[in-house]
Amino acid sequence: MTEMVYGAVPERGGEPILPKWWRTLDKWSMSCVLILFVIGLLLGLAASPPLAARNGLEPFHYVSRQAFFGGLALVAMLLTSMMSPTLVRRLAVIGFLGAFVAMAFLPLFGTDFGKGAVRWYSLGFASVQPSEFLKPGFIVVAAWLMAASQQINGPPGTLWSFALCTSIVAMLVLQPDFGQASLILFGWGVMYFVAGAPMLLLVAMAGLVVLGGTLAYSGSEHFARRIDGFLSPDVDPTTQLGYATNAIREGGLFGVGVGEGQVKWSLPDAHTDFIVAVAAEEYGLVLVLILISLYALIVVRSLFRLMRERDPFIRLAGTGLACIFGVQAMINMGVAVRLLPAKGMTLPFVSYGGSSLIAGGIAVGMLLAMTRSRPQGEFGDLLRGRGR
């Protein structure tokens, strides 16, 4: 009866790793990720040549780099998805510590590449953005701490995870990177809600976020400029938002045709933050709806699979990973259609960016590992603390 209710997959003794992985994997979600990667390469073929021409590079320089980093991301995703939740947790702890230290030293050794925010380390041949790798590591570590706090005589893990969250948000705000700070705070809040947080406390936290946004608006010219541009009733046609808005309008339902779009010649970030504008202009609303459906399918399927998971750590970590994945996609597309202020956030697996692609592959690999079908055990085992 337990297996009928919770959908558990019976254990097969001595089964090889690869057949067991394939049998328990959420194949629909993995297929959606692969489709997103292919769409990203397709859009890169359209959006990258103008940038390469401006920088004096080969026409498909950025596409080839995207294919290379995307290949590494897919390998990382597959390898991570084969891990057990315990091994994922160990990997996350190591990755989180490394990314946290790297973020702490950004003010001393980082660079802004002329964009006004110190978020990257320049390696000469490439750049690394620590915050991209920090996100999945933090989500898993915070889930581990929250789950530990639910045990009898357990540590104050929720308080510790909140302390980590606030310290990370503070470092991101100093860069400044309000988009990633909001995403980290949102991921922690979702896990805290799933862990059983009182609604009154969540409302109070939402009030603090509003207060923090007001203070940021008053004290940060960078933040205020973006908010003012978003709230303005008129869109300057020479800004990135103006170009993107016009491109989406011109694309209509089916687009102007492959290679016929013009926004890629005007937008400096057409291959990263505003890749949706290129998709909407050349392929129309149809491709945008396909992108939305793919992201929604990954998130919804993951959450439904996690609903039948009894292990608190797996449930919390999987929920946090699924939600930040979906919300990051929502923020990127929301900025392109002017539903949200500009955030400087990539579209997972579609936008160009080595750090974003590889970190996204690790994050989705962790999510696939958490959502694999596995025996749930008996209620008595759970109560006696002999779960996984």
Calculate mean pLDDT across residues 92-115: 89
Q: How many other CB atoms are found less than 10 A from the CB of residue 164?
A: 18
Please report which helix (H) or strand (E) contains residue 140, including its range.
Answer: helix 130-149
- Residue 137 forms part of a structural domain: yes
Backbone phi, psi, residue 218, to 5°? -75, -30
Q: How many other CB atoms are found less than 10 A from the CB of residue 231?
A: 8
Between 258 and 121, the more confident residue is 121
Percent of the chain at pLDDT > 90 equals 41
- Residue 112 forms part of a structural domain: yes
pLDDT surpassing 70 at residue 385: no
Predicted confidence at residue 127, as pLDDT, reads 84
Q: Which domain, by its residues, includes 181?
A: 15-374
- Residue 6 forms part of a structural domain: no
Q: Could you tell me which residues come within 8 angstroms of residue 133 by beta carbon, excluding any fewer than 6 positions away?
A: 95, 98, 99, 102, 355, 358, 359, 362
Distance of alpha carbon 58 from alpha carbon 60, whole angstroms: 6
Q: How many other CB atoms are found less than 10 A from the CB of residue 171?
A: 21
- Residue 381 forms part of a structural domain: no
Q: Could you tell me which residues come within 8 angstroms of residue 118 by beta carbon, excluding any fewer than 6 positions away?
A: 106, 107, 110, 111, 112, 175
- Residue 178 forms part of a structural domain: yes
Q: What is the pTM of this model?
A: 0.87
- Residue 204 forms part of a structural domain: yes
3-state secondary structure (DSSP) of residue 68: helix
Confidence of residue 141 (pLDDT cuts 50, 70, 90): very high
Calculate mean pLDDT across residues 17-36: 92
Predicted confidence at residue 5, as pLDDT, reads 39
CA distances 116 to 54, 106, 320, 354, Å, are 21, 13, 30, 20
Between 337 and 80, the more confident residue is 80
- For the chain, the domain total comes to 1
Confidence of residue 202 (pLDDT cuts 50, 70, 90): confident
Which amino acid appears at position 248 of this protein?
I
pLDDT surpassing 80 at residue 381: no
- Residue 119 forms part of a structural domain: yes
